[in-house]
Amino acid sequence: MELHLGLTEQSFNAIYSYWVREALDELGDSFVITDPCISGHPIVYASSGFLKMFGYSKDEVIGKNGRMFQGPKTNRRSVMEIREAIREEKAIQISMLNYRKDGTPFWILFHMCPVYSKEDGKVVHFLGVQVPILGKMRRSGGEVVRNGLNFCEAGNKFPETVFGCCRREVSSDTVIELGRGFALDYLLSSDDRDVEADEPCEASELEKRKATAAVNNILSVLVHYSQTTGRLVCGKRCCLSGMGLLGASLNISLGRIKQSFVLTNPQLPDMPIVYASDAFLRLTGFARDEVLGHNCRFLSGMNTDPATQFQIKECIQAVRPCTVRILNYRKDKSSFWNFLHISPVRNAAGKVAYFVGVQINDDCSNQEQRELSPEMQHLSVVGAVKVAVRSSSMISASTS
C-alpha cells in the first residue's frame, strides 16, 4: 500500500509544482484527479471541498478508485457511460447518485474531462468535478423538502423564497447561487437518508454552468503550475500525431497485469517505450517519466553482452519472438540478470502494433518465481497483453 501511495504522489508531483495543492484548495470546489496510467486508475489528488462533501480523510481516498463512492442504488448505466468516456478519452457531464462515508446517498452532477500532455497529447490525468444537485421541490407535511433538505415553512423563509422563485426580482443567478451555498452547508451537516434515490435527479442549468466553470478554473491552475516543471498540460489534445499514444482503456487493461513488462512502438523512431508496468518500475528503480519515450537500451551497461543485444535486434527486425538472458542495470547502477522475452503484438487487423518485453529477475528465487516456470510467466504476460491490445483496437475501430 505504501508503494502504491508513493506512485500516486509521484504521478501528481512529477507534473505540477509544489504550490499547486494550495492553489487548488483555494478554489473551494469538490473534485478529484485520477491517473489512468497507474494500475486501478486511482485518485492521485482530492480537494478539501471533496473530502468535506464525502466525509473521508485524504489517506482514505488517495490511491483508491472512484467506484468507492458508488452504492447499491447508483445507476449502472451512468457508471458504464463514465467508463466509456474514459475509454474514448472524452469529457462527460452526467447526474449520478453517490454515497458519503456514513452511507448517506446524495445526487451530484459529475463533470469529468481528460488532462493532456502538451508535448505528446497523451492523457496524463482525468479531472472529475462533483456539484451537488439540490433536486426538485417536494412537500412533506409542513416542510419543504429538496433532495433530503427540510426547510420549515414557518421558520425558514429564505430558502423557499430563493428556490421557489416567488418574486422575479429575487430570482437572479447571484441570489440563487447564494441560496445554493446556504443549502450546501446545510446538506453537508444534515441527515438526508430519506433522499429519493430511486428517482432520477436532473441538474439545473445553473448547476451545469457551475460544473463547467469549476473545470475551467481547475484546468487553468493545472496549466499554470505545470509550466514550472516543464511538463505542460492542457485541456485539449495539442498533439495530433497520435502514433505513440495509448488509449485510456488500453492503459487500464495493461495496468491489471502485475508482472514486469514494457510495451514499445516499432512505428516510431528508435522504437520507444510507450507503456511500463508498475512491476517494471519496481524492478529497475526508474520513475515512469524516466522510462516512457526511451529505447530499452538504457537498461544496458558496461558488461552487457553486445552479441545478446545484436540477437535481440535481429529478432525484432525479423518480427519474431526471442528469449535471452541479458545483464541489465537498475537506476542505482546495480546489475541483475534479466531473463528477457520479446514478442510482437498484433492489433485486431493483424498488423504489428507493438513489441512487448517481459522481464524476470533471474537472480531472484522467491516463492512466487518458483510457482511458474520463467517460460510460463513469459507466455502468460504476452497472452494478456495481446488480448488487451486486440480488444482496445476493436473498440477503437467500432467507435471511429
Domain assignment of residue 194, yes or no: no
Pair (6, 65) in one structural domain: yes
Contact 243, 351 (CB under 8 A): no
More confident position, 2 or 391: 391
Q: What are phi and psi of 172, to 5 degrees?
A: -75, 160
Report how far residue 382's alpha carbon sits from residue 271's, in angstroms, rounded to the nearest whole number. 18
Range of the structural domain that residue 98 is part of? 2-133+201-234
Tell me the mean pLDDT in the region 243-270: 84
Amino acid in position 17: S
Domain assignment of residue 363, yes or no: yes
Pair (59, 205) in one structural domain: yes
Domain assignment of residue 308, yes or no: yes
CATH number at 359 reads 3.30.450.20
Beta bridge partner(s), residue 137:
146
Q: What single string gives the DSSP state of each residue in 142-160? A: TEEEETTEEEETTT-HHHH
Please say if the pLDDT value at position 57 is more than 60. Answer: yes
**Which residue bears the cell 506512485?**
7
Pair (181, 317) in one structural domain: no
Cα 390 to Cα 317, 354, 384, distances in angstroms: 22, 11, 10
Tell me the mean pLDDT in the region 38-52: 93
Pair (53, 177) in one structural domain: no
HSE at residue 318, side-chain half, CA atoms within 13 A, is: 10
| Residues contacting residue 44 through CB under 8 Å, at least 6 positions apart | 8, 9, 11, 12, 33, 34, 35, 38, 62, 125
Contact 43, 58 (CB under 8 A): no
User: For the chain, how many structural domains are there in total?
Assistant: 3
Please say if the pLDDT value at position 115 is more than 90. Answer: yes
Cα 73 to Cα 99, 195, 201, distances in angstroms: 9, 11, 13
**Which residue bears the cell 517505450?**
273
Q: What single string gives the DSSP state of each residue in 249-314? A: HHHHHHHT--S-EEEE-TTSTT--EEEE-HHHHHHH---HHHHTTS-GGGG--TT--HHHHHHHHH
Report how far residue 247's alpha carbon sits from residue 43's, in angstroms, rounded to the nearest whole number. 18
Task: Report the alpha-carbon angle 148-152-154, nearest 5.
Answer: 165
Grid coordinates of 239: 498533439
pTM of structure: 0.55
Pair (210, 311) in one structural domain: no
Pair (284, 305) in one structural domain: yes
Pair (391, 253) in one structural domain: yes
Confidence of residue 162 (pLDDT cuts 50, 70, 90): very low
Express each pLDDT in 168-187 by its tens digit.
333 344 444 444 444 444 44
Pair (128, 153) in one structural domain: no
Express each pLDDT in 223-246 by its tens digit.
999 988 888 998 886 644 444 567
Amino acid in position 103: G
Grid coordinates of 352: 504489428
Confidence of residue 148 (pLDDT cuts 50, 70, 90): very low
Domain assignment of residue 195, yes or no: no
pLDDT at 364: 62
Pair (283, 392) in one structural domain: yes
